[in-house]
Amino acid sequence: MREAVEELLAEEEAEINLTPMLDVVFIMLIFFIVTAVFVKEPGIQVDRPTAETAFAPDGAAIFIAVSAQNEFWIDQRSVDLAGLKPVIERLHSENPEGGVVIQADNEAMNEYVLAAMDAAKESGIADVTLAAAVP
């Protein structure tokens, strides 16, 4: 009888309950998904000018594209000049530490690129960068 009890105890000790570990792993996965900063694309491809000193900025959260037809694109939507500042302010409130990257086409007029820069600066964003292609 004693041998049977000892055998049952040995079998119970050999089992490892993985349920708590799986719970922790799923909670961590959910945490990382919720807190991740997703890369936002402007919505169109632009032919950026090349620059020898081009670099990848850190912490950019808002991407503004100025097309060859002088259209503004943010988050895969076309935005007119009057609606540019409110959209930037809304996106900046979602991620206050992020900066702005303006991706202007080679054919875009300087007036529109400067308008995008002004809208970003008026929204309280100090970190405004112009995107360039590496030659």
Q: Give 83 or 56, the one with higher predicted confidence.
A: 83
CB-based burial, 87-122: b 16+ in 10 Å, e otherwise: bbeebbeeeeebbbbbbbbeebeeebbebbbebbee
Return the CATH fold of 60-130: Nucleotidyltransferase; domain 5 (3.30.420)
**What backbone phi and psi angles, to 5 degrees, belong to 62?**
-120, 125
Looking at residue 39, its pLDDT comes to: 57
Query: What are the pLDDT digits (tens) for 17-76?
Result: 778 888 999 999 988 887 776 656 667 777 677 777 777 666 677 889 999 999 999 988
* Domain boundaries defined on the chain: 2-35, 60-130
pLDDT tens, residue by residue, 114-134: 999 999 999 988 888 888 877
* pLDDT for position 130: 85
Residue 62 is given by DSSP the state E
Contact (Cβ atoms closer than 8 angstroms) between residue 116 and residue 88 = no
Sign of CA dihedral 32, 34, 36, 40: positive
Instruction: Tell me what pLDDT residue 37 has.
Output: 61
Q: Does the pTM of the predicted model rise above 0.75?
A: no
H-helix segments, 1-135: 2-14, 19-35, 81-94, 110-122
The reported pLDDT for the residue numbered 96 is: 83
**57 phi, psi to nearest 5 deg:** -75, 150
